[in-house]
Amino acid sequence: MIVCIAEKPSVAKDIAQIVGAQERKDGYYQGNGYQVTWTFGHLFTLKEPHDYNPNWKYWYLEDLPIIPANFGIKLISNKGVEKQFKVIESLIAECEEVINCGDAGQEGELIQRWVLLKAKCKVPVKRLWISSLTEESIKEGFENLKDSSHYENLYVAGSARAIGDWLLGINATRLFTKKFATNKTLLSIGRVQTPTLAMIVQRQKEIDSFVTEEYWELKTIYKNVEFTADMDRLKSEERAKKGLEYLQNYSFEIISFEKKEGKEKNPRLFDLTSLQVEANKKYGYSADNTLKYIQHLYEKKYVTYPRVDTTYLSEDLYPKIYGILSSMKYYENLISPLLENPIPKSKAVFDDSKVTDHHAIIPTDILPESLSSDEKKIYDLVARRFIAVFYPECKISNTFVTSKVGEIIFKASGKQILEPGWKTIYEQDKKNEKEENLIPIFESGEVGPHDPFIHQGKTTPPKYFTEATLLRSMETAGKHVEDEEMRELLKDNGIGRPSTRANIIETLLHRKYIEKKRKHIYATSTGIDLIDIIPSEILKSVELTGLWEKKLRLIEKGEYSYELFKKELIEMVTGLIQEVKNSQYRRISIQEKKNMEISDNSKKQSQSLRSVEDLFCPKCKTHKLLKGKSAYGCSDFKNCNFTIPFEVYGKKLTFKQISDIIGKGKTSKIKGFIFPESNEKREGSLLFNENFGIVFENSPS
């Protein structure tokens, strides 16, 4: 008898029909020499600390680090799980061969291997590896079964990931909770969760500390085209008015006119992250919901395996593309032009070197039926993207005009679509696109009257993260990258895996470290407090976490040692614990932390802190300030020598300026500083040096 183990009952049912196991039993199907059973996702988990040592059930700093000599797994405590495992165990005990039919990915491999390990499987194990659940794909998979050893590195990488997350999560969470938390507050630390939160907190602080400044630009209208002066933004209205007066005295002259034809490349096929990004931008769907909808479509056999991180197809899929396109009857008007000629085989679509476990997400040749409205929208995104990659490129015309008024250079540019190509697929989205900036033909040397004017604007703070931009930042290790090819290169250093990023965001929301308001993601005071009390950059660094992810991928490829990865993690965790244990940080309450942070945008704090004496010393972070004859100083004057003078370089500091430098480490620009050696008036910012002395960061006024 051959035992097939699927990851879900629904998948087991599909496999049973194809192999001829038609008889339904308790926990499995049987027939034609096969028994087809299933798991419910994870049946096993890594053991908890107290499973190794009863004393580790209690949280004591002196017990850290907790590092078991050997890691073990245990059955999840659930009656349904326990019953199903007994079924699997009994089937494996009597069979001649096992076929691992788990999800074809790292997590799916780990789930199945743990089951086989605990069931003490001693018979040969084969692996079913498929990219869709269609009958054709499953049959092909059974015709091309591989020995389980072919996927050994995938299992090792999954184990390394699970153990790494356990080591860091257990130790760091206990460490920071016991060292810093009060009132039984849990400070949860995670290998991917914490650097993701750190990105959000950093963005929040940049926004909170941003000082809006007014600026002025010189513009002019010539032949109904708006031109902008090619110069830095002006910082004063007076200078702008002088500039306008200057422009009114001269005619407008064209220096050069250039028109270039170019192409806009077709979009890439979807991987999971890019699909989640697009669904969030277009429909406001959370990453978690998009994953849920695309998983439903996969299980209904309408799309291929979704938990992928590539935007390419394997070259052996090319012969099947015509048939898939022909089957997509709902898009017949868009597909008909494609079917008149051979389907192009572009390296931007078909590239074996860019495909690892699976290819990009595409539709199958099964026509979808009975979809929910949300599933329809996600399917439509996948279907249109699949069609678009085979269309011609979009041809455009870019226009660049350089001109001058007197000695001031002005520029204008425009874009015109000549042949829409693949953009035809997205005609319904045209209303969301900016109107084309059509520019008439100009002749070099032509001169004429113009209408100059002043444009007044304000600088804007960085934008809050949305789920779309946060997913992109996780994928590219915090780097802002628009180019798709560059994003592909950075994926190996991204944090988390495509299948887990949605769960990381949901975890941060559940723990109330972040919150969503419409599409925007905000760090809560709890989330900010957590990041602020973590002294080690190792836990907060997106780049370092990205390097760990790269090592895990190298383990998967057999190019990095599991033992070395584990050794490095143990050394890092041990070093972190010693650093924090030996640090002088004292345990603080959330309320104390709030009092230490002064924010311009926090009305509650500005109401409760009405004088400098209400502020905590920025050096020791423990005692409040006292007023002296010429300066404020730490009330613990015997042990802390911090002072901040009332007046710096002839400028008396306001409460807001003092609270800014204490809360943020820096003031906004202040005018009127006087330097005695030159008697020169200057403007600039005040900030602390490493010894908490005040230094001047200047810019001439």
Question: Is 150 inside a domain boundary?
Answer: no
Question: Is 363 inside a domain boundary?
Answer: yes
Beta carbons of 295 and 133 less than 8 angstroms apart? no
User: φ and ψ at 75, to 5 degrees?
Assistant: -70, 135
What is the per-residue pLDDT across 503-536, written as a single tens digit (0 to 9) for each? 999 999 999 999 999 899 999 999 998 998 887 7
Task: Give strand pairing partners of 220.
Answer: 227, 452
- Specify whether 572 is located in the same domain as 656: no
What is the per-residue pLDDT across 458-513, written as a single tens digit (0 to 9) for each? 999 999 999 999 999 999 887 766 667 766 766 777 888 888 999 999 999 999 99
Gap between the Cα atoms of 697 and 4, Å rounded: 69
Let me know the angle formed at the C-alpha of 493 by 490 and 497, rounded to the nearest 5 degrees.
105
DSSP string, 4-27: EEESSHHHHHHHHHHHT--EEETT
Retrieve residue 644's tokens.
């901040």
Gap between the Cα atoms of 88 and 38, Å rounded: 8
pLDDT score recorded for residue 596: 44
Question: Is 595 inside a domain boundary?
Answer: no
pLDDT score recorded for residue 483: 67
Q: Total structural domains in the chain?
A: 5
Last residue of a domain, one of 144, 172, 189: 144
Question: Is 591 inside a domain boundary?
Answer: no
Which residues of the chain are modeled with pLDDT < 70?
Answer: 183, 429-436, 480-483, 486-487, 489-490, 584-611, 613-614, 676-679, 698-701
pLDDT score recorded for residue 588: 47
- Specify whether 130 is located in the same domain as 11: yes
The domain in which residue 636 lies consists of 603-699
Q: Give the closest residue to 437 by CA, choosing from 217, 268, 228.
A: 228
DSSP string, 275-339: HHHHHHHHH---HHHHHHHHHHHHHTTSB---------B-GGGHHHHHHHHHH-GGGHHHHHHHH
Catalytic center residues:
305
Gap between the Cα atoms of 401 and 363, Å rounded: 45
- Specify whether 198 is located in the same domain as 219: no
CATH number at residue 411: 2.70.20.10
Q: Give the closest residue to 511 by CA, choosing from 292, 174, 186.
A: 186
How far apart, in Å, are the Cα atoms of 387 and each of 266, 306, 321, 331, 343?
10, 18, 10, 9, 11
Gap between the Cα atoms of 559 and 569, Å rounded: 18
CATH number at residue 333: 1.10.290.10
- Specify whether 330 is located in the same domain as 260: no
- Specify whether 372 is located in the same domain as 402: no
CATH number at residue 140: 3.40.50.140
The alpha-carbon radius of gyration of the chain (Å, integer) is 31
- Specify whether 281 is located in the same domain as 373: yes
pLDDT score recorded for residue 614: 67
CATH number at residue 489: 1.10.460.10
Question: Is 35 inside a domain boundary?
Answer: yes
- Specify whether 115 is located in the same domain as 34: yes
Whether the link from the prior residue into 65 is cis, omega within 30° of 0, is: yes
- Specify whether 421 is located in the same domain as 298: no
Check: pTM over 0.85? Answer yes or no.
no
What is the per-residue pLDDT across 49-60, written as a single tens digit (0 to 9) for each? 999 999 999 999
| Beta-carbon contacts of residue 377 (< 8 Å; ≥ 6 apart) | 279, 282, 283, 293
Q: Give the closest residue to 359 by CA, choosing from 124, 132, 41.
A: 132
How far apart, in Å, are the Cα atoms of 400 and each of 88, 221, 227, 255, 453?
69, 16, 11, 11, 21
Gap between the Cα atoms of 623 and 637, Å rounded: 10
- Specify whether 574 is located in the same domain as 653: no
- Specify whether 260 is located in the same domain as 277: no
pLDDT score recorded for residue 429: 65
Question: Is 156 inside a domain boundary?
Answer: no
Last residue of a domain, one of 371, 388, 405: 388
Last residue of a domain, one of 348, 366, 388: 388
Question: Is 596 inside a domain boundary?
Answer: no
Q: What's the helix, strand, coil split of the chain in %, to 5? A: 45, 20, 35
Q: How many CB atoms lie within 10 A of CB 110?
A: 22
- Specify whether 277 is located in the same domain as 330: yes
- Specify whether 309 is located in the same domain as 353: yes
Question: Is 151 inside a domain boundary?
Answer: no
Instruction: Write down the H helix ranges in 478-524.
Output: 484-490, 498-510
